[in-house]
Amino acid sequence: MNDQHAIPPTPVEAFEPPYYMAVFTAVRAQDQSGYDETAARMEDLVKDVPGFLGMDLAQTPGGLGITVGYFRDADALTEWRCNAEHRVAQKRGQAQWYQSYTLHVAKVERSHGFARV
Amino acid sequence: MNDQHAIPPTPVEAFEPPYYMAVFTAVRAQDQSGYDETAARMEDLVKDVPGFLGMDLAQTPGGLGITVGYFRDADALTEWRCNAEHRVAQKRGQAQWYQSYTLHVAKVERSHGFARV
């Protein structure tokens, strides 16, 4: 997280549609033991999924967190969803880390980006 | 923002697919004068769009901000995109508030939610 504060991240770019996007919105529960290690491991692991395009993360302190994963197609997203280590993390998320969450899986129809010169 | 810290927000629920989602990921520029007022006004204004379902917001301090707007159909989203006051805000965003941003517009194919009891 220190790196994020030193150098603001760049938003993941707009890819050529169609592509897929998984939006995970969550409020954390009290017990966060082990969360950071698992989150770092998942961020690493997803990069090995063929068709993974990128990930955006934002966390309001004490509030809502939003993670957006971008994938080339529905198969890439399914592969990530069904990854064995990821499934263990999902179960632990429900059992321990999250107070509530919603997952929205969607096909991107259009996109664009802006960057100040 | 103070209310968000006092009472953690609930993630917007999983609606019955299909519905639409606009994901706006942004890094802010230096000059934020007028931003808070306009953001509050936009949050108010979008509620009047027929077919608007809800909005999730997360902001990493000094880092990435993610806004997700949910709409019943593509027409509802188009109405919001073309709203006159919103278009003025979009232009000011490019001219002043944002260092960079990406907008991904997508049709949600499946979704689910979880809440601890």
Domain that holds residue B49: 32-108
DSSP helix, strand, coil percent of chain A (3-state; round to 5): 35, 40, 30
Could you identify the residue written with the tokens 């073309």?
Answer: B82
In this prediction, residue B6 has a pLDDT band, given cuts at 50, 70 and 90, of: low
Residue A15 falls inside a structural domain: no
Residue A4 has pLDDT above 70, yes or no: no
Residue A2 has pLDDT above 50, yes or no: no
* Interchain CB distance below 8 Å, B27 and A8: yes
B window 26-85, beta carbon within 8 A of A: 26-27, 29, 56-66, 68, 70
CA end-to-end span of chain A: 26
| Residues B65, B25 contacting (CB under 8 angstroms) | yes
The complex's ipTM works out to 0.93
- Cα B42–Cα A65–Cα A12 angle in degrees, nearest 5: 80
Residue B114 falls inside a structural domain: no
Distance in Å, alpha carbon of B79 to nearest chain A alpha carbon: 16
Residue A47 falls inside a structural domain: yes
CATH of the domain at A102: 3.30.70.100
Contacts A–B by Cβ distance under 8 A: 170
Note the pLDDT tens digit of each residue in B41-94. Answer: 999 999 999 999 999 999 999 999 999 999 999 999 999 999 999 999 999 999
| Counted domains in chain A | 1
| pTM for the full predicted model | 0.93
Residue A52 falls inside a structural domain: yes
